[in-house]
Chains A and B, each alone.
Chain A
Amino acid sequence: MRKKKSLLEMIDDLRTNENIVNWYEMPPQEAKTRPMPESVDPRIRQALHKRGISELYTHQETAFRTVTAKENIVAVTPTASGKTLCYNLPVLQAIARDDTSRALYLFPTKALAQDQKSELNEIIDELGIDIKSYTYDGDTSPAIRQIVRLAGHIVITNPDMLHSAILPHHTKWVSLFENLKFIVIDELHTYRGVFGSHVANVIRRLRRICKFYGSDPVFICTSATIANPKELAEQLTGSPMRLIDDNGAPRGRKHFVFYNPPIVNVPLNIRKSSTIEVNNLAKEFLKNKIQTIVFARSRVRVEIILSHIQELVKNEIGSKSIRGYRGGYLPKQRREIERGLREGEILGVVSTNALELGVDIGQLQVCVMTGYPGSIASTWQQAGRAGRRHGEALIIMVASSTPIDQYIVQNPEYFFDRTPEHARINPENLIILVDHMRCAAYELPFKTTEAFGPLDVTDILEYLQEERVLHRHGETFYWAAQSFPASEISLRSASQENVVIVDQSDVAAVKIIGEMDRFSAMTLLHDEAIYLHEGVQYQVEKLDWDHKKAYVREVDVEYYTDANLAVNLKVLEMDRTKDSRQAAIHFGDVSVNMIPTIFKKIKLTTFENIGSGPIHLPEEELHTSAAWLELKEVDPEIGTKSLEQLLLGIANVLQHIVPVLVMCDRGDVHVTPQIKAAQTGLPTIFIYDHYPGGIGLAEDVFKRFDEVRDAAIHLIRKCPCKDGCPSCIGMEIAGMNGKRKSIQLLNLL
């Protein structure tokens, strides 16, 4: 039998691999520590000592001191740097000192909350102090709920639960709110975009309620590395923050490698598929029993890679030890996978960014990314999954052909030298703000003098009064409607209703296997779509749009499906303009109409198009904010057909560049070119927020357009292809010097 290679041997082998375009080595870092503060309760001191903690890392010690002095903090810490002690220590200390003290922990997902509870309870067990910590989420049984409300010292929950179950029922949580000393917000960086804008408003509601009960809790936030942790924390909590970033945790040696698949078609600059390369790389590690995590960017991609890898290694290791992990799996399944990874039963996992978050899956040795994850912050988060404290670790980013991937592997300094992105939220988005004011008024009457964020909200209160949602008496607005407003508002997406996925393969045992938000379902769960779940293929037999159910049946086919979405845009209002003779950039409101049109069937092995079909779904309409680029004067030599292609090419580049620059998920901002815009008839490219009312992304593009344009030009110029390839402007445009002309057009702006 072949001898298994060690990770070090494999790293050495890789050094001679010609596809490696950049090798970045991060030296190990020694721990920086300070003695345990004198004031720490002896019982806590002893319990920590038992777990091998007798000193604190510098950031932990600073956090403890600052929080104890009642200052809000945001601690920026990489994965596995002992960040939980930044909040657990001051919280446990406060409860040890005063049994009435209460703390509320917020995690972005239920999984993280569960994780934290187990960790916390381990420490508490050793303390010998009667401290009760509970998770409070949709899975908590009614009997336990009562206990949590009355007696929980530490309540661990998520923003959704806070929004829909705790705040509207605050009268049942008197003992929590009267004595709330700390609000812990972990994974702060995940609260951005639409979700973050909602959560900022939920926290405004939380603070109102605390004030009502006479408490003034200290905020303890932790965040992965982003450019503006302090700003984000202040915006999210509405409170001043102290930034703590003196990370003192040790780190093993890390090798961060960029892998660019070989070119298979030189004139078109077409490279070998990154998916195939990832499959092969992962196979090698797994065969040598090296625990590996593979990240892929979409749910579909996760499933494709998973099934390939399972097939590749099935003779050497059981396919059960290679698992998928993504949103849409049921919680129980996820817990089982997490445990399997921690305990080493599971050797490999293929995941979406769902595992970027702090879910405890132990230390993995290798991390393989299928393409650039889309942001610097996210890349570091994923990289942090490999090699936690000691020992060597290998991180391989396999570039895809997309412009941004190619740009990054060819300009590694962009990645390694640049500060990570800004996380942006817009709590003042009118729709979001009004929705949360409804919830807030349900919870406690509004005084006319009362503030809710930085804006004057009198207008909104009066509007709600006219709508007969509020009733004004004297200087107070009271809730005066029959509904329960929190149930009508979801924090996670524009649409409240998710599509439930029903597996009817076994008629006698029909079961629900997952769910998906409405917009994704339009292109992923339409009739005849191939839906992959845990590596199993399902075909959608019927998408019941009215009842939001997709009925699927297990199939075994050689292809996957990919749907097209047709988009129509209309300008509603122009707020700001930067004008020049030949071009203009505008910012304002637009209406977007979306309708999925057709889907293609794409062969799994060769990725060739082997068929297509129509999609029949109703149109969705979205009103949002947009920045749009208008070309007023174009070289008449460029014909309409060519111009259209050029616009498509530029849009392609922008679609990749913009999410990176403004830090948002790819789906949050959309780019659509129009050869003749509806109102002006001019060639126009729209960049819009994919959320009603916008969340500030397009506005950011408008403000920082010079930066966006320069990055786009740079990308096109630096691309090694002859004259256009999927990595930059999409396709070569026959005999027209597309790259040069695209740059010319961009320079007009």
Chain B
Amino acid sequence: MSGGLRDKLERLRAHAASVKQAEAAAREADTAARAEADGGVRAAGSADESRSIGADAAGSEVRNGMTPAGEEGTGRPASACGRGEDAFADLGAEEVRNDHGVFLLRTAVYPLEHRHGHYLLEQLPSYAAKLKPVAARQNKGRTDREEAEPDAIETERLLFLDTETTGLGVGAGNVPFMVGIGYADLKARQFVVEQLLIRHPGEERAMLAYLLTRFAGRTHLVTYNGRTFDWPVLVNRFVLNGWRRSGAEPGHLDFLHPSRALWRNTLPSCKLSRIEEDRLGISRAHDVPGALAPELYLRYLNEGDAEHLRGVFIHNERDVLTLVTLAIHFGGLLDGRLGAEWALPEEPEELYRTASWLDANGGPDHAERLFAALIARRETSAERWLLPTAGRYKRLGRLDEAAALWLRAAEAAERSVLPSFEAHVELAMLYEHRVKDAALALRYAERALELAHRKPLSARDPARGRAEREGLAHRIERLRRKTNAPLAR
């Protein structure tokens, strides 16, 4: 192109020059840092070389040609990608051809005895069915599905899916350049991970066509944030490639939401890597962070060196396996494994949140045990959960159990610097209306008001605090009248 255009644009943009310089400096620093990270990845890769890349601890067999039916045995045609080509073969990726063109497929087969983190893949079949209530909740009221939510979840009809994309967001320009899928083949006692890669945007149609064949017969996509990210991004691609309706819309089993329900406060973040390390026993010491995947792919596009993608393949493959681990974990929770062969969460908050999640997802009996375990805890950090647990008992009409917890919560409040007075209010109500002991109710109400005054009004919503105090004052007044009445008579 003419240098004139570049010059002109640069001149017009000169006002942004200083910003650009700063960016350039930052980029350099970034590149340097990444070079180190890359070194790490390559080292990890080459160490794995003997049993081909990506094999997790126990090793899987990487094989080619999981081609669609009728297309077995397509030879390897010459590719334009020179040095990239060999490197891809080295990564275990092979060309797949169909009516829509060609793309790369890398297949890793794991025996069901394979362990990924705390669990063995073979545990999946026994727990998958337990996920039914989770799926039912996530797919409730969806009108875009072609099939109704099935009555049962079958292991082999689950498709585990994780994409790597060129950018953030779900706009039309964000391209999933790698789609990792996984599924169980119980007869062969295998779990298969297939990774579909496009070497350039022209291969997308072929990849999508293949993906459609893999969707066939599956009831659910198992993902981490797939409902709002991976799936919409894929739908974009189908639309852009002329599939106006992308065929049967699968149901979702998205573990982001359950993970948030459990770990929102007890983990620093609900990033998949964090959960893997802290809760699923999966270590990714030498992994390429997922956030670098777009950068690495764009580098591959520009330089043609497939080696840039080695780390991305490994990362994505492990992500797919982790989805299985998550499915086992949540299925296990719903099967009541916690407190049986699995240890209960250490933190009272996590115990409470897990119990509540079980309560809401059709596991009230297991929830019951967890709540019982929670109230048996005597550490201070458990006290905060007495009130909400009492609230549950109250809702279930188990007032005696609730009352016992309110008494404990009220005691705890008395010791607190910033006390809550809710337990006192509950007790006041209980004694007034149920036990019919107005005098005792009055004592609790009066004490509640004292506590309320100890607590400063919320800066954001002072009106609410004032209303609460007023409400208490009314209650006290009424109780005083009640308690005085017999004397007057």
Residue A291 lies at the interface, judged by CB distance under 8 Å to chain B: no
Residue A2 lies at the interface, judged by CB distance under 8 Å to chain B: no
Residue B33 lies at the interface, judged by CB distance under 8 Å to chain A: no
Residue B47 lies at the interface, judged by CB distance under 8 Å to chain A: no
Q: Would you give the 0/1 interface string for A449-487, flagging 1 where the beta carbon is closer than 8 Å to chain B?
A: 000000000111011001010010110101111111110
Q: Which of B1-37 contact A (CB under 8 A)?
A: 1-2, 5-6, 8-9, 11-15
Residue A159 lies at the interface, judged by CB distance under 8 Å to chain B: no
Residue B388 lies at the interface, judged by CB distance under 8 Å to chain A: no
Residue A443 lies at the interface, judged by CB distance under 8 Å to chain B: yes
Q: Which of B225-275 contact A (CB under 8 A)?
A: 232, 235-236, 239-240, 244
A709 to chain B: closest CB distance in Å? 29
Query: A473 to B202, Cβ gap below 8 A?
Result: yes
Residue B295 lies at the interface, judged by CB distance under 8 Å to chain A: yes
Of A318-326, A618-626, A727-735, the one contacting chain B is A618-626
Chain A residues with CB below 8 A from B298, complex form:
468, 480-482
Residue B166 lies at the interface, judged by CB distance under 8 Å to chain A: yes
Residue A171 lies at the interface, judged by CB distance under 8 Å to chain B: yes
Chain B residues with CB below 8 A from A8, complex form:
none
B1 to chain A: closest CB distance in Å? 4
Chain A residues with CB below 8 A from B236, complex form:
171
Query: B172 to A444, Cβ gap below 8 A?
Result: yes
B7 to chain A: closest CB distance in Å? 10
Report which of A170, A430, A692 forms a contact with B172, defined as CB distance below 8 A: A170
Say whether, besides A459-B1, A471-B301, A479-B173, A484 and B168 are in contact (CB < 8 Å): yes
Q: Which of A393-447 contact B (CB under 8 A)?
A: 430-431, 434, 441-445
Chain B residues with CB below 8 A from A174, complex form:
239, 244
Residue B136 lies at the interface, judged by CB distance under 8 Å to chain A: no
Q: Would you give the 0/1 interface string for B198-224, flagging 1 where the beta carbon is closer than 8 Å to chain A?
A: 001110000000000000000000000
Q: How many residues of B contact A (CB 8 A)?
A: 35
Report which of A442, A474, A485, A692 forms a contact with B13, defined as CB distance below 8 A: A692
Query: B167 to A484, Cβ gap below 8 A?
Result: yes
A472 to B472 alpha-carbon distance, docked (Å)? 72
Q: Would you give the 0/1 interface string for B280-293, flagging 1 where the beta carbon is closer than 8 Å to chain A?
A: 00000000000000
Residue A693 lies at the interface, judged by CB distance under 8 Å to chain B: yes
Say whether, besides A430-B12, A444-B172, A463-B9, A482 and B201 are in contact (CB < 8 Å): no
A167 to B117 alpha-carbon distance, docked (Å)? 43
Chain A residues with CB below 8 A from B202, complex form:
473-474, 476
Query: A168 to B14, Cβ gap below 8 A?
Result: no
Query: A572 to B240, Cβ gap below 8 A?
Result: no
Closest residue to A174 on the B side, CB-wise?
Answer: B239
Query: A479 to B11, Cβ gap below 8 A?
Result: no
Residue A338 lies at the interface, judged by CB distance under 8 Å to chain B: no
Q: How many residues of A contact B (CB 8 A)?
A: 45
A170 to B302 alpha-carbon distance, docked (Å)? 27
A473 to B301 alpha-carbon distance, docked (Å)? 10
Report which of A460, A471, A483 forms a contact with B167, defined as CB distance below 8 A: A483
A445 to B202 alpha-carbon distance, docked (Å)? 10
Residue B75 lies at the interface, judged by CB distance under 8 Å to chain A: no
Residue B336 lies at the interface, judged by CB distance under 8 Å to chain A: no
Chain A residues with CB below 8 A from B173, complex form:
168, 441-443, 479, 484-485
Query: B12 to A169, Cβ gap below 8 A?
Result: no
Say whether, besides A171-B240, A473-B202, A442 and B14 are in contact (CB < 8 Å): no
B376 to chain A: closest CB distance in Å? 42
Query: B172 to A442, Cβ gap below 8 A?
Result: yes
Say whether, besides A441-B173, A473-B200, A462 and B9 are in contact (CB < 8 Å): no
A445 to B12 alpha-carbon distance, docked (Å)? 26
Chain B residues with CB below 8 A from A187, complex form:
none
Residue A591 lies at the interface, judged by CB distance under 8 Å to chain B: yes
Query: A431 to B169, Cβ gap below 8 A?
Result: no
Chain B residues with CB below 8 A from A473, complex form:
200-202
A727 to B391 alpha-carbon distance, docked (Å)? 78
Closest residue to B202 on the A side, CB-wise?
Answer: A473
Chain A residues with CB below 8 A from B232, complex form:
172
B349 to chain A: closest CB distance in Å? 29
Chain A residues with CB below 8 A from B166, complex form:
479-482
Residue A508 lies at the interface, judged by CB distance under 8 Å to chain B: yes
Closest residue to B299 on the A side, CB-wise?
Answer: A468
Query: A508 to B201, Cβ gap below 8 A?
Result: no
Report which of B15, B172, B175 forms a contact with A169, defined as CB distance below 8 A: B172
Query: A168 to B171, Cβ gap below 8 A?
Result: yes
Chain A residues with CB below 8 A from B6, complex form:
463, 466
Residue B112 lies at the interface, judged by CB distance under 8 Å to chain A: no
A474 to B202 alpha-carbon distance, docked (Å)? 9
A441 to B166 alpha-carbon distance, docked (Å)? 14
Most A C-beta atoms less than 10 A away, residue of B169, B172, B175, B240: B172
Chain A residues with CB below 8 A from B13, complex form:
431, 623, 692
Say whether, besides A174-B239, A476-B202, A484 and B171 are in contact (CB < 8 Å): yes
Say whether, besides A171-B236, A459-B2, A623 and B294 are in contact (CB < 8 Å): no
Residue A527 lies at the interface, judged by CB distance under 8 Å to chain B: no
Closest residue to A212 on the B side, CB-wise?
Answer: B240
Residue B459 lies at the interface, judged by CB distance under 8 Å to chain A: yes
Q: Which of A160-192 contact B (CB under 8 A)?
A: 168-172, 174, 178
A623 to chain B: closest CB distance in Å? 5
Query: B167 to A621, Cβ gap below 8 A?
Result: no
Query: B201 to A171, Cβ gap below 8 A?
Result: no
Query: A589 to B15, Cβ gap below 8 A?
Result: no
Say whether, besides A174-B239, A431-B12, A692-B15, A481 and B172 are in contact (CB < 8 Å): no
A228 to B480 alpha-carbon distance, docked (Å)? 83
Chain B residues with CB below 8 A from A430, complex form:
5, 8-9, 12
Residue B439 lies at the interface, judged by CB distance under 8 Å to chain A: no
Chain A residues with CB below 8 A from B1, complex form:
458-459, 462-463, 466
A32 to B4 alpha-carbon distance, docked (Å)? 57
Query: B168 to A482, Cβ gap below 8 A?
Result: yes
Query: B15 to A622, Cβ gap below 8 A?
Result: yes
Residue B430 lies at the interface, judged by CB distance under 8 Å to chain A: no
Chain A residues with CB below 8 A from B175, complex form:
478-479
Chain B residues with CB below 8 A from A484, complex form:
167-169, 171, 173
Q: Would you give the 0/1 interface string for B93-137, flagging 1 where the beta carbon is closer than 8 Å to chain A?
A: 000000000000000000000000000000000000000000000
Query: A169 to B295, Cβ gap below 8 A?
Result: no
A519 to B235 alpha-carbon distance, docked (Å)? 42
B99 to chain A: closest CB distance in Å? 19
Q: Would you give the 0/1 interface string for B164-189, flagging 1 where the beta carbon is closer than 8 Å to chain A?
A: 00111111110100000000000000
Query: A589 to B11, Cβ gap below 8 A?
Result: yes
Chain A residues with CB below 8 A from B172, complex form:
168-171, 442-444
Query: A171 to B11, Cβ gap below 8 A?
Result: no
Chain B residues with CB below 8 A from A622, complex form:
15
A474 to B235 alpha-carbon distance, docked (Å)? 25
A444 to B240 alpha-carbon distance, docked (Å)? 8
Q: Sorted from nearest, which 9 A-B pairs have the closest CB atoms?
A: A442-B173, A478-B201, A462-B1, A621-B15, A171-B236, A171-B239, A479-B173, A482-B167, A168-B171
Provide 21 A-B residue pairs closer than 8 Å at the C-beta atoms, listed in order of the A residue: A168-B172, A171-B235, A171-B239, A178-B244, A431-B13, A442-B172, A459-B1, A459-B5, A463-B6, A471-B301, A474-B202, A476-B202, A478-B175, A481-B166, A484-B167, A486-B171, A621-B14, A623-B14, A623-B15, A692-B12, A692-B13
- Known A-B contacts: A441-B173, A474-B202. Give 6 more (CB < 8 A): A171-B240, A458-B1, A466-B6, A471-B201, A479-B175, A623-B15
Contacts from B to A (Cβ < 8 Å): 1-2, 5-6, 8-9, 11-15, 166-173, 175, 200-202, 232, 235-236, 239-240, 244, 294-295, 298, 301-302, 459
